[in-house]
Amino acid sequence: MTRGALLVCGTHSDAGKSIVTAGLCRWLRRRGVCVAPFKSQNMALNSVVTAGGAEIGRAQAMQAAAAGAEPEAAMNPVLIKPSGERNSQVIVMGRPWCDVDARFYQAMKADLRPIVEDALADLRARYDVVICEGAGSPAEINLRAGDLANMGLARAADVPVLVVGDIDRGGVFASLLGTLALLEPADQALVAGYVINKFRGDESILAPGLEDLRARTGRPVLGVLPFLEDLWMDAEDSLALEARAPESPALADTLDVVVLRLRWMSNFTDLDALSAEPGVRVRFTRSAADVERADLVVIPGTKATVEDLARLRAAGLGDALRARAAAGAPILGVCGGFQMLGTAIEDGVESRAGRVEGLGLLPVSTVFQRDKLLRRRAGACAWLGGARTQTGYEIRHGAITLHGGEPLLRADDGEPDGCRDGWTLGTAWHGALEDDALRRALLRAVGAARGRTFVAGSDSFAALRERRLDALGDLVEQHLDTDAVLALLHTGAPADLPTIHAEVRAVAALRHDS
């Protein structure tokens, strides 16, 4: 296999780029190819910590798992984490770089470009193939001059491009044609074909449209991927919550887990492992009534702790949580959610709001530090019979101090984590519930407290995730023209691809010159 690369773009966000990228990585790995994923610029609030202590988008970590590769900073050299309506934290090569607004970020791209290009070149030197994922749409013409993730990357690295369109949303042919037509001729020269995603029904009905699209653009549709109900992977942001696996019907002993849907919710993938248990139903909500009735309420992580705490109070959820805690009903806060449960937050970093009163449900206080703590964690929970987790990781600016209660977890190095006061629990560790032993011990305890019997599933969460990644590989193998994909990896985009709508561009150029 030559050291090839391919860029998977989409007609819009959530068109299926991440899934196609992961599927290509798994399919190539099964062929014995040494493959790595790459996303130069990712805007996401779901992230993980690599073995080297770098923070990258969670979708890239799952694509690395599909590829059988260890996640690393080079796979996602720029990660943008929104921390409010106007500002974001920019993570470069796994470390916080600066906090900026959207306009200033555009001015930074000249400095980021060589970092992105070096990261991709490094991966291509060490792997047989790199499957790159674009961001948003390549036809965002207002951003083309500084583009780092779509056609700017493809041009700089001479990488062929596939464009994915989501037919489930409607208008897929117009979206694919329009995307190509808006590109500059040199960009069009790298777009080698299309993939249609989420098709339902008889594929033969599509045949006239596929042929017409090829005739109009000179490019083939390399595959039509069917709509599969339970096909999802670790998402990039809360927009993808609507497309997740449907809730199972609640049975008599089903544990009802309610997750507060925060505006700047981060790492809600912490709850995926709970959803995978057959005796658990997980729902995202902003309803105080749901908080009252649930068996377990989870306050997830957030990139804007103080702002989300204010929103939570304004919605009446603070009072609902206090009533729940007074009744001894289970509450779990994770990272930012844990910080909210404390007595006070001193924030001069994210919101710069200074001292803010917490919910006062746990005897802890938080002071935000300039430096971000990034590390993987493993340890045990004495309260749950010594149940262990090997899958935790920390991503936080908040330094948390206990003033009472007891630690919820203790790391293998002896450092305590979290706090427990009755049935109000908090932890700074993301990902801890992915470990079957700890998750099931917690759910058994919740069930006993609520008068229900929790019966654990038979499969491990790790095995379930592997099956989902295999399903993505099957999707590519069974529904894409894999010979055409291999040809693109070997030789790049064909040299004779036509430019469309050249006459429209000529008229526009004349008007601009006049």
Place of tokens 């790790």: 462
Same domain, yes or no, for 487 and 431?
A: no
Element (H, E) at 106: helix 102-126
Same domain, 290 and 378: yes
Is the CB of residue 129 less than 8 Å from the CB of residue 28? yes
- Please check whether residue 101 lies inside any domain of the structure: no
Name the helix (H) or strand (E) containing 301.
Answer: strand 301-302
**Domain end residue (candidates: 454, 479, 498):** 454
Same domain as 355, residue 258: yes
Burial 475-491 (b: 16+ CB within 10 A, else e): bbeebbebeebbebbee
Per-residue tokens: 478: 């069974």
**Domain region containing 192:** 4-42+110-232+466-513
Residues of the chain with pLDDT under 70: 1-2, 231-252, 502-514
CA 438, CA 440: separation in Å to the nearest integer? 6
Task: Give pLDDT, residue 239.
Answer: 47
Does residue 273 lie within any of the structural domains? yes
Distance CA 271, CA 433 (A): 8
Q: pLDDT value at position 501?
A: 76
Domain containing residue 260: CATH number: 3.40.50.880
CA distances (Å), origin 329, targets 114, 124, 299, 423: 53, 52, 14, 6
Distance (Å, whole) CA 256 – CA 227 = 28
pLDDT at residue 463, as a whole number: 95
* Alpha carbons 53 and 344: distance in angstroms, whole number: 28
**429 and 303 in a common domain:** yes
| Same domain, yes or no: 310 and 403 | yes
**Going by C-beta distance under 8 Å and a sequence separation of 6 or more, which residues neighbour residue 455?**
253, 278, 279
How far is 35 from 473, CA to CA, in rounded Å?
A: 13
User: Quick check: helix, strand or coil at residue 473?
Assistant: helix
Same domain, 480 and 506: yes
Same domain, 394 and 343: yes
Into how many domains does the chain fold? 2
> Is residue 219, in this structure, part of any structural domain at all?
yes
User: Nearest to residue 37, comparing CAs of 102, 133, 104?
Assistant: 133
> Of the candidates 454, 478, 500, which is a domain's last residue?
454
* CA–CA separation, 117 and 113 (whole Å): 6
Residues 307 and 379 in one domain: yes
3-state secondary structure of 44: coil
- Give the domain CATH number at 143: 3.40.50.300
In the numeric block, which tokens belong to residue 147?
Answer: 């583009």
In a domain, 389, yes or no: yes
148 and 194 assigned to the same domain:
yes
Q: Does residue 97 sit within a domain? A: no
CB 150 within 8 A of CB 26: no
Q: Which pLDDT score, from 0 to 100, does residue 80 have?
A: 95
pTM: 0.92
105 located within any domain: no
- Residue 188 and residue 318 share a domain: no
Q: What's the pLDDT score for residue 228? A: 86
Q: How far, in whole angstroms, is CA 29 from its chain's centroid?
A: 22
Q: What is the pLDDT of residue 249?
A: 46
SS3 312: helix
Q: What is the pLDDT of residue 244?
A: 47
> Is residue 314 in some structural domain?
yes
Domain boundary, last residue among 406, 426, 454: 454
Q: 């990781």: which residue's tokens?
A: 393
* 391 and 354 within one domain: yes
**Phi and psi at residue 124, to the nearest 5°:** -65, -25
| 237 within domain boundaries | no
Catalytic residues: 335, 430
Q: Is there a single domain that holds both residue 433 and residue 505?
A: no
Q: For residue range 265-290, list pLDDT tens digits in order.
A: 999 999 999 999 999 999 999 999 99
